[in-house]
Structure 1
Amino acid sequence: MNDTGNITKDDTKNGKKQLRKGDSRTMKSIPKEERPYEKCLNCGAEHLSDAELLSVILRTGSKGESALELSRKVLAGYGGKNGLLGIYHMSISDLTGIRGVGTVKAAQLKCVAELSRRIARASCSDRVVFTNPSDVAQYYMEELRHCEQETLVLVMLNSKGRLIRDKVVSKGTVRASLISPREIFIEALHHGAVSILLLHNHPSGIPDPSREDILLTLRVKEAGAMLGVELLDHIIIGDCQAVSMREQGIWQNELD
């Protein structure tokens, strides 16, 4: 500022420098022991909040905000999707719609969500008895109950009833007229499956079997009997609930 009280060009430059300096030191303004990295190293990752965990993954924030502030913004959601589950449901374009999240950070977040899902499944896979409908339903519940489209999963088992692998065989509408048992059993035979399970979700959250569900089940069951690959069950996943079509007695039913 000059003698007349007017702001000079030098004052403006200095102000910008101070602002940039403040922006770059946002995380450093937090006491060292409370910073996410240091907190993780000193206390363990389990003591970090969701936002702190994300900030460690993202590493940097955006102009004018720290990684921690950006993480809080991500968890606040976009388009009604919030929290950690919001990240799982948001697309790359949803994430990049959040100011400060570019394609790299969006990819990082989606990879973290997918890694978390795989870790959760891997941690319980050895405990799942794939001949027990409630175990199978619980194993696939989080993966399927959030799907916004009907998704049909083929589960392939070995002679000891252990999981060989699973595969999504249809996404959209699960209709017997649109799903070929031939494609299901080509996949099962290719992987040496001795028996199979089918699972699909009802986006409505209500797992009551429809006529199409019953028709598909009977068609696949009959084809499996001819090929020597038994269909053990067809489980329908709703919102935190499931229906085993074997337990419902549909195995013995015929459609009119």
Structure 2
Amino acid sequence: MEKSLLLQELPESSWPRERLLKEGEKHLTDQELLAIILRNGTRSQHVMDLAGLILKEVPTLYDLKQLTIEELMQFKGIGKTKAIELKAVMEFGARIHRSTQPKLGKVSSSFALGNHLIEELKGLQQEHLIAMFLNTKNEIIQQKTIFVGSLNQSIAHPREIFREAVRVSAARIALAHNHPSGNPQPSRNDLDFTSRVRKCGEMMGIEVLDHIIVGENEYISLREENYWD
């Protein structure tokens, strides 16, 4: 049985995995990416050479995708298991490429948003701060509970909201939280927190559309109730 030459046996400076960690996947060549997927070569051929040979034998990556398991197994160092893994990786990559960002509905008005949030937040025994991240069409592309607890400055911080906003490339955000007491009137902490978030949004170019406070069977929109100035 041939002894495999592992990727880790190459000089550290040439490890594709190390380069990916330090520089990011976009800086790796096709050969290096394929070598990571292959993991190991053979006794007489290390994995980078195997990856290079495969890419040399096929005209384009599209042609590589079209190869059958049997055709992949014609390369020395590619057995049935590795051929199956390669086909699975290529199909999974194709499915990711075809995927689209999910939409969780569109924010058409504070009224529609408020009534939706009543059903979601009423009855909770603790305050839950929810952030809805929107694209330029006001479609919700992500909704996340930022934290559970009172909106005081020692706990709540806008950075948690905007870290997620940047991650999903949101153009706008809308905030909502509940008052377990059932009374949706904003507290001083609510207003101060909202002001801080809006100021951060202005600096980052991410608009804060509204902050909805939900009570038992009613809500208050800070924008509609003129708390926005």
Question: Shorter-chain TM-score: what band?
Answer: 0.5 to 0.7
Asked whether 1:158 is paired with 2:150, we answer no
Q: Supply the AA of the counterpart residue of 1:228.
A: G
Q: Aligned residue pairs: how many?
A: 128
Distance in 1 of aligned mates of 2:217 and 2:104: 20
Provide the residue aligned with 1:190 in structure 2. 167
CA contact (8 A) 1:201 1:236 kept: yes
Distance in 1 of aligned mates of 2:228 and 2:147: 22
1:71-220 to 2 correspondences below 5 Å: 129-220=106-197
Provide the residue aligned with 2:228 in structure 1. 251
Structure 1: 5+ residue stretches without partners: 1-125
Deviation at 1:144, TM superposition (A): 0.4
Distance in 2 of aligned mates of 1:127 and 1:193: 13
- Report % sequence identity: 40
TM-score by length of 1: 0.48
CA contact (8 A) 2:179 2:214 kept: yes
- Runs of 4+ in structure 1 deviating by more than 6 angstroms, as ranges, are none
Deviation at 1:198, TM superposition (A): 0.5
Distance in 2 of aligned mates of 1:128 and 1:167: 14
| Alignment deviations for residues 149-188 of structure 1 (CA, whole Å, 9 cap, x no partner) | 0000000000100010100001022223321111110011
| Alignment deviations for residues 81-116 of structure 1 (CA, whole Å, 9 cap, x no partner) | xxxxxxxxxxxxxxxxxxxxxxxxxxxxxxxxxxxx
TM-score by length of 2: 0.53
Q: RCO (CA 8 Å, sep 6+): is it higher in 1 or 2?
A: 2
User: Where is the helix percentage greater, Structure 1 or Structure 2?
Assistant: 1
Deviation at 1:227, TM superposition (A): 0.2
Q: Supply the AA of the counterpart residue of 1:218.
A: S
| Alignment deviations for residues 197-240 of structure 1 (CA, whole Å, 9 cap, x no partner) | 01000001010000000000000000000001100000000011
Distance in 2 of aligned mates of 1:221 and 1:235: 14
Distance in 2 of aligned mates of 1:132 and 1:213: 21
Q: Supply the AA of the counterpart residue of 2:142.
A: R
Asked whether 1:240 is paired with 2:221, we answer no
Asked whether 1:231 is paired with 2:208, we answer yes
Distance in 1 of aligned mates of 2:224 and 2:159: 25
What secondary structure, in the 3-state scheme, does the structure 1 residue paired with 2:228 have? helix
